[in-house]
Amino acid sequence: MSMRLPAPARREQILDVSVQVFARNGFHSTSMNDVADAAGVTKPVLYQHFDSKQDLYLALLEEAGNRLRNTVTKAVASATNGKEQTEFGFKAYFRWVAHDHDAFLLLFGSRANRDEESVSTIRRITAETAHAIAPLIAADIDSDHQRTLAHGLVGLAEGASRHLVERGEAFDPEVLGQQVADMAWAGLRAVHRG
């Protein structure tokens, strides 16, 4: 059935296919046989490219996380002031969600996996995002609260996205990004006055 592929191509194909399968069915409800079937191949082939199910899964998380981080940091870097940073940041985030949306589900969907290692990977990604946002929050509150609020803002984008993605609703990332950014920016300024 499936063509023979050179090793690197096969590896890529497995990664591509796995994102979809894991995103749709969750980690524990997806067996390696399921992945293999979806890739049009048998189980041992998977183990020629990845040491274990965990290993494969973590590779997927890592890749997805990188794409997210790159998109957002690039967008924020191109802005010239706080308000613009907020706007560009959220728009980039939602653009990523709309576009790479299996990856979003993998990282933040309700069915994402939750082992020790995956959790810490996902936490790291979230923390990095929060870290990038933190400076936007007024410096006149202590840094612990600053970080907590930053995590809140990440949750804001995440919550809105999950709502949309999980019910398969199409949405315009520019419009949504603008609205959320307006909301967040006004909120950020309110905390200033604390």
Partner DNA sequence: TCATAGAGTTACCAAAGGGTAACCAGTCGC
Partner DNA sequence: GCGACTGGTTACCCTTTGGTAACTCTATGA
Q: Contact with DNA (CB under 7 A): which of 18, 21, 23, 53?
A: 53
Candidate segments 30-38, 50-58, 70-78, 139-147, binder of a copy of itself by CB under 8 A: 139-147
Where helices occur in the chain by DSSP H, the ranges are 7-25, 32-39, 43-49, 53-77, 82-99, 101-108, 116-133, 143-166, 173-193
Number of Cβ within 10 Å of residue 177's Cβ equals: 25
Positions in 14-33 near a copy of itself (CB under 8 A): 26-29
Q: Contact with a copy of itself (CB under 8 A): which of 15, 38, 58, 191?
A: 191
**CB of 15 closer than 8 Å to CB of 60:** yes
Q: 4 touches which of a copy of itself, DNA, none (CB within 5 to 8 A by kind)?
A: DNA
Q: How far is the CB of 58 from DNA (least distance, A)?
A: 12
Q: How far is the CB of 138 from a copy of itself (least distance, A)?
A: 11
Return the HEC string of 124-151. Answer: HHHHHHHHHHHHHCCCCCCHHHHHHHHH
Q: Contact with a copy of itself (CB under 8 A): which of 11, 54, 79, 171?
A: 171
